Chain A
Amino acid sequence: MRENIPDIEKKLLSGREYIGVEKIDGALVFIKNTHPIGYRELVEIVDPDGKARLGMVLDTSRDVVVVQVFEGASGLNLPGTSARFRGEPLMLGVTEKMLGRMFNGLGQPIDGGPPPVSDTEEDVNGRPINPTAREYPRDFIQTGISAIDGMNTLIRGQKLPIFSGNGLPHNELAAQIARQAKILGGETNFAVVFVAMGVKHDVARYFIKSFEDSGVIDKVALFLSLADDPSIERIITPRTALTLAEHLAFDKDMHVLVIMTDMSNYCESLREISTIRGEIPSRKGYPGYLYSDLAEIYERSGMIKGKKGSITQLPILTMPNDDISHPIPDLTGYITEGQIVFEREMFNRNIYPPIAGLPSLSRLMKDGIGKGMTREDHPHLASQLFAAYSYVKDVRNLASVIGEEELTPLDHQYLEFGEAFERKFVSQRIDEERTITETLDLGWKVLKKLPAEELHRITEEELDKYYYSGDSL
């Protein structure tokens, strides 16, 4: 096969090795006097022992090239380090055979097995999906968890993060969703891509065990960049993982659930690089492009017209100090299609899952519930539960000031409703799987704690069908 000139030139140049670097700062390496280097080009940095580490060009000019080294710069020195530029961006060979395997953040196997023989190579940075090519997601996923299915419905192709805090059971919930998620009457061509960024070994092990126990581990590809791996590797990890997810979803017709934990660690690595480069920070030292950078990750989800598969993202992030206005949850919330918010106070009261009633939201819910999808009463029931529960919060505040005895009889009913809602509806066992019918019926039972006149969001027919008939708690 004849190669054309640019290809030959690329080969020659990528063989050229530059010995000695100008400056090393954090995970950044500065190299001078190179041939013209492409922006975002892949680089091999060879350390004094002759071992190659991968890096990417962050800034290129005729004077100096700045390389971010994914495996970190520790152990490098100025004269002993050399660089080879590969003339193309970081590519990942992808194949279905990566399911059941374990990789590092760059997609290299770390389970002792050989590198899988790939079907095709893709640029890990991905390309934006043309908005006209998207298919609007509408398929209801039953997670078996009432607080989600009933109130914050997950839709296939959605990006729905969990906003958690240190020590809260977000891993448990994510694993439970991964175990139980199903499409009603649907097929099972599914896969899970699990992405760990800066979390501890036992977190990874917890997930692996959960996948093994439920017998799906062969359908899971793990990308691990753990707490003791170089922090800079996290920047590429979700991109590598999503490149595989895209292949599985859009070339292999699979429904892919991507669990990414912990996005806060990802953002911290980004901040680290930005600080070293002396960029002007925006809030809390995070770079001004954090929003765009996160969007590059989160927007790699959804469905595409004419393709059978889908990518559903379940990113997990811990809110520093449980503060939802911190830039990480804040910018995430601005990009994702809703959020599941954990509340420490509920957790302390022993409610699992501690899903906060009011700040949690699923934006795609509206098109995936109701007649023909879940049940015709679902939209009004959910809306009524929200409204009533929101009033409960007011009553509780009032009670804490004037004392419960001073409340009106109606307000007392609201308190009882609130208690039942949290204890019976939201609360469930970690291995408990409720069908959507069970969830909705439970919702009505809880609602019976309130008089019919209070239910402004429910129609007469719905009252007749579900409120007046049916059992109480």
Chain B
Amino acid sequence: MAERVIGKIHRVNGPVVEAFGITDAIMLELVQVGEARLIGELIKLEGARAIIQVYEDTTGLKPGENIYGSGMPLSVELGPGLIGTIYDGIQRPLELIRNATGPFIKRGETIKALDRKKKWHFVPAVSVEGVVAGGKSTGKRNKKDAGIEVTGGMVIGTVQETSHVLHKILIPPLMHGRLKKLAGEGDYTVEDEIGIVETEEGEKSIYLKHEWPIRVARPVRQRLPLNIPLITGQRVIDTFFPVAKGGTVAIPGGFGTGKTMTQHAIAKWCDADIITYIGCGERGNEMTDVLTEFPKLVDPRTGLSLMERTVLIANTSNMPVSAREASIYTGVTLAEYYRDQGLHVAVMADSTSRWAEALRELSGRMEEMPAEEGFPAYLPTRIAEFYERGGYMETLFGETGSVSIIGAVSPPGGDFSEPVTQHTKRFVRCFWALDRQLANSRHYPAISWLDSYSEYLDDVTPWWDEHVSERWQEYRGEIMELLQREVRLQQVVKLVGPDALPDSQRFIIEVCTMVKNAFLQQNAFDEVDRYSTVEKQMKMLEIIVTYWRKGSAAIKRGMTLIDLKKMKVLQDIMKMKFSVSNEDAAALDKLLARLERSFAQLESIYA
């Protein structure tokens, strides 16, 4: 970084530094603070004074020390080599930092995000004259000068980043001009020039990487409607509270109710192309868990290691609080970058409450006027801006890609009326409310079927009709209704005991018990149960609906609940989630047939 002193330290208060003698600083400029050269960002500018939030521990920083400007905003590096890497909140590669400085993080590290030495095999998709074989149609050839016209977001070539990810090399979003030179197929580092674009401001070099400021959403051509579900393999989600690709979800829940487990499960088994997992102010061991487990797990769709589609951002609870604030923007910017390559990205942010608290702490130290519970008045705006970066988009290059955002919320005391949960609810369209009671009774995932909702339901129903079964919506609705009725029946039972109910109503409770045990509960640690294909989900649903329909009809005809419960097949239905693997979903057809035979037998006895 050039030696451009923009001012000096006036005051140090935790991660907030006040500066004086500011000359030519730029708002949101990336700066280095003090002789320890701690990384910071200039977040307020007022005459000759400025406020800087520092992304590292400020111990030892003194008034009077210099502040150095970089002339650019806090940005991330985008290019091949992101996948499989774990970064801190401002995109420093934690693995390399450990190699350099040992198990404890030191300050003032300046290791670059992308490996400078590694060579990537670049295959051009265009040439200066136009399209090369196999490439997508591109800009028009300009007759007068050599070089096709290129615009931001255009794909000029590819690099096989992992066996899972074909990384497209893009013209940086805001660039426009004529491609004067493009390297041929070959091996290049991220710093080797691979092309030159002549722009109005002169010639610009193109590399395998480019930079983008984390607080600015990357541009797209337009937003598209959401109608394809993000299949997570989690039955309660896919079947009852589905999220669309490009959708936004909040998972609120008190401690230990299963936010992290749910996000891990989705990160593992959902059908996105890329996962960006942001550990924001949470436990170190949880990141270690991902780092040790993901490489060993195999993506059922591709047969490849799950780590080959995952980028991790870890700013754990004991790491500096301002970098926690930045981490979710870092994560979502990486996600947008892969979206711009026409991919579907799912972002897990665990936990957005820690990010909001970081905002609160910084705001408090800047002595801003607090709004609710000490949070700054701009909290809702910030939450909205974050979730707005999700969506199903047409990229600048005319392809489609999506960013789905799944944010955990950790309400104090598990009370959903607090500001972060409430404001988040305004800006997401899907809400998976985790229930303390369910979690305590080890009903996992503890997603409440009463308090949760998904506004994507109608949007994704056509997809289920087309790809799975036209009965999906009907079955789903029927079970949902039973679950609602059961609540009222349970209230009666609590007052007068189950004997007071007629068999027809007790049967509803029976069926709901089956729904909960055999369908809604899903053990993330069980080899078979940890994810279910949509086919398996649909067949399981059908079995339960059949039991309900045939059973209630039989009771109407006078059969007793006791006789009904004697059917041996019920035991197997209760265990079908464990006993029938995804590959063997046909076994569920047999189970359904057995159920129907059992009913036929029973009825023949009664007849």
B10 interface neighbour in A62, A299, A305, Cβ under 8 Å: A62
Does B347 sit at the interface, judged by CB under 8 A? no
Does A311 sit at the interface, judged by CB under 8 A? no
A4 / chain B contacts, CB cutoff of 8 Å: none
| One of B99-107, B391-399, B461-469 contacting the partner | B99-107
Given contacts A131-B314, A292-B281, A402-B497, contact A282 B373 (CB under 8 A): yes
- Bound: A281/B373 CA distance, A: 8
B360, A282: Cβ atoms closer than 8 Å:
yes
B604 / chain A contacts, CB cutoff of 8 Å: none
Given contacts A38-B60, A132-B98, A133-B98, contact A59 B13 (CB under 8 A): yes
A331 / chain B contacts, CB cutoff of 8 Å: 412
B60 interface neighbour in A89, A326, A407, Cβ under 8 Å: A89
A390, B63: Cβ atoms closer than 8 Å:
no
Does A288 sit at the interface, judged by CB under 8 A? yes
A134, B60: Cβ atoms closer than 8 Å:
no
Shortest CB–CB separation between residue A192 and chain B, in angstroms? 22
Chain A residues 322-377 with CB under 8 Å of chain B are 325-327, 330-331, 333-335, 337-339, 358-359, 361, 363-364, 366
Chain B residues 310-357 with CB under 8 Å of chain A are 314, 316-319, 321, 354, 357
B442 / chain A contacts, CB cutoff of 8 Å: 383, 386-387, 390
Chain B residues 63-84 with CB under 8 Å of chain A are 63-65
A456, B285: Cβ atoms closer than 8 Å:
no
A333, B256: Cβ atoms closer than 8 Å:
yes
B60, A40: Cβ atoms closer than 8 Å:
yes
Q: Which residue of A is nearest B64, CB measured?
A: A36
Q: Which residue of A is nearest B410, CB measured?
A: A334
A275 / chain B contacts, CB cutoff of 8 Å: none
A133 interface neighbour in B103, B414, B499, Cβ under 8 Å: B103
B289, A330: Cβ atoms closer than 8 Å:
no
Does B128 sit at the interface, judged by CB under 8 A? no
Chain B residues 408-436 with CB under 8 Å of chain A are 410, 412-415
- Bound: A196/B279 CA distance, A: 32
A363 / chain B contacts, CB cutoff of 8 Å: 256
- Bound: A434/B127 CA distance, A: 74
Does A67 sit at the interface, judged by CB under 8 A? no
B104 / chain A contacts, CB cutoff of 8 Å: 126-130, 133
Does B440 sit at the interface, judged by CB under 8 A? yes
A36 interface neighbour in B18, B59, B63, Cβ under 8 Å: B63
B494 / chain A contacts, CB cutoff of 8 Å: 397-398, 401
A295 / chain B contacts, CB cutoff of 8 Å: 281, 316-318
Q: Classify the interface of chain B: helix, strand, loop or mixed.
A: mixed
A325 / chain B contacts, CB cutoff of 8 Å: 254, 412-415
Does B370 sit at the interface, judged by CB under 8 A? yes
A60, B256: Cβ atoms closer than 8 Å:
no
B288 / chain A contacts, CB cutoff of 8 Å: 131-132, 134-136
Does A468 sit at the interface, judged by CB under 8 A? no
B441 / chain A contacts, CB cutoff of 8 Å: 358, 386-387, 390-391, 393
- Bound: A408/B493 CA distance, A: 12
- Bound: A228/B531 CA distance, A: 56
B86, A131: Cβ atoms closer than 8 Å:
yes
Q: Which residue of A is nearest B496, CB measured?
A: A402
Number of interface residues of A (CB under 8 A): 78
B440 interface neighbour in A60, A292, A358, A401, Cβ under 8 Å: A358
Q: Which residue of A is nearest B284, CB measured?
A: A131
A305 interface neighbour in B103, B289, B370, Cβ under 8 Å: B103
Does A190 sit at the interface, judged by CB under 8 A? no
Binary interface encoding of chain A residues 397-410 relative to chain B, with 1 for a CB under 8 A from any of its CBs, else 0: 11001100011100
B285, A61: Cβ atoms closer than 8 Å:
no
A283 / chain B contacts, CB cutoff of 8 Å: 373, 412-413
B361, A132: Cβ atoms closer than 8 Å:
no
A398, B497: Cβ atoms closer than 8 Å:
yes
B61, A39: Cβ atoms closer than 8 Å:
yes
Shortest CB–CB separation between residue A258 and chain B, in angstroms? 15
B1 / chain A contacts, CB cutoff of 8 Å: none
Shortest CB–CB separation between residue B540 and chain A, in angstroms? 15
Chain B contact patch, size range: 35 or more
A37, B318: Cβ atoms closer than 8 Å:
no
B86, A292: Cβ atoms closer than 8 Å:
no
- Bound: A129/B97 CA distance, A: 11
Shortest CB–CB separation between residue B276 and chain A, in angstroms? 16
Does B525 sit at the interface, judged by CB under 8 A? yes
Given contacts A292-B317, A327-B412, contact A89 B285 (CB under 8 A): no
Q: Which residue of B is nearest A133, CB measured?
A: B103
Binary interface encoding of chain B residues 276-299 relative to chain A, with 1 for a CB under 8 A from any of its CBs, else 0: 000101011101110110000000
B285 / chain A contacts, CB cutoff of 8 Å: 134, 136-137, 302, 337, 364
B497 interface neighbour in A130, A133, A282, A406, Cβ under 8 Å: A406
A289, B361: Cβ atoms closer than 8 Å:
yes
B357, A288: Cβ atoms closer than 8 Å:
yes
Given contacts A127-B105, A137-B285, contact A281 B374 (CB under 8 A): yes
Does B571 sit at the interface, judged by CB under 8 A? yes
Does B58 sit at the interface, judged by CB under 8 A? yes
A401 interface neighbour in B412, B495, B517, Cβ under 8 Å: B495
Chain A residues 260-310 with CB under 8 Å of chain B are 279-283, 288-289, 291-292, 295-296, 299-300, 302, 304-305, 307
- Bound: A295/B357 CA distance, A: 13
A89, B10: Cβ atoms closer than 8 Å:
no
- Bound: A302/B317 CA distance, A: 14
A89 / chain B contacts, CB cutoff of 8 Å: 59-60
Does B255 sit at the interface, judged by CB under 8 A? yes
Q: Which residue of A is nearest B17, CB measured?
A: A39
- Bound: A128/B98 CA distance, A: 12
Shortest CB–CB separation between residue B325 and chain A, in angstroms? 12
A128 interface neighbour in B64, B318, B361, Cβ under 8 Å: B318
- Bound: A289/B324 CA distance, A: 13
Does A41 sit at the interface, judged by CB under 8 A? yes
A330, B98: Cβ atoms closer than 8 Å:
no
Q: Which residue of A is nearest B107, CB measured?
A: A127
A397 / chain B contacts, CB cutoff of 8 Å: 494
Shortest CB–CB separation between residue B602 and chain A, in angstroms? 18
A359, B440: Cβ atoms closer than 8 Å:
yes
B105, A456: Cβ atoms closer than 8 Å:
no
A39 / chain B contacts, CB cutoff of 8 Å: 12-14, 58-62
Does B215 sit at the interface, judged by CB under 8 A? no
Highest count of chain A CB atoms <10 Å: which of B61, B256, B499: B256
Q: Which residue of A is nearest B317, CB measured?
A: A295
Does A467 sit at the interface, judged by CB under 8 A? no
B255, A330: Cβ atoms closer than 8 Å:
yes
A408 / chain B contacts, CB cutoff of 8 Å: 498-499
Does B480 sit at the interface, judged by CB under 8 A? no
Highest count of chain B CB atoms <10 Å: which of A39, A295, A379: A39
B13 / chain A contacts, CB cutoff of 8 Å: 39, 59, 61
Binary interface encoding of chain B residues 571-601 relative to chain A, with 1 for a CB under 8 A from any of its CBs, else 0: 1001100000000000000000000000000
A337 interface neighbour in B98, B283, B410, B440, Cβ under 8 Å: B283
A62, B98: Cβ atoms closer than 8 Å:
no
Shortest CB–CB separation between residue B150 and chain A, in angstroms? 38
- Bound: A40/B12 CA distance, A: 10
- 23 A-B contacts, Cβ less than 8 Å apart? A36-B64, A36-B65, A38-B59, A38-B61, A61-B13, A126-B104, A130-B94, A132-B95, A288-B360, A289-B361, A292-B281, A295-B316, A295-B318, A325-B254, A325-B415, A326-B413, A330-B255, A330-B412, A333-B256, A393-B441, A397-B494, A401-B495, A401-B496
Q: Which 9 A-B pairs give the minimum distances between C-beta atoms?
A: A61-B11, A295-B317, A390-B441, A325-B413, A133-B103, A333-B255, A299-B318, A36-B62, A358-B440
With A131-B94, A291-B357 given, name 6 new contacts (CB 8 A): A60-B11, A60-B61, A128-B316, A134-B288, A282-B373, A289-B321
Q: Interface of B with A (CB < 8 Å)? A: 10-14, 18, 20, 57-65, 86, 94-95, 97-98, 102-106, 254-256, 279, 281, 283-285, 287-289, 291-292, 314, 316-319, 321, 354, 357, 360-361, 364, 370, 373-374, 410, 412-415, 440-442, 493-499, 517, 525, 571, 574-575
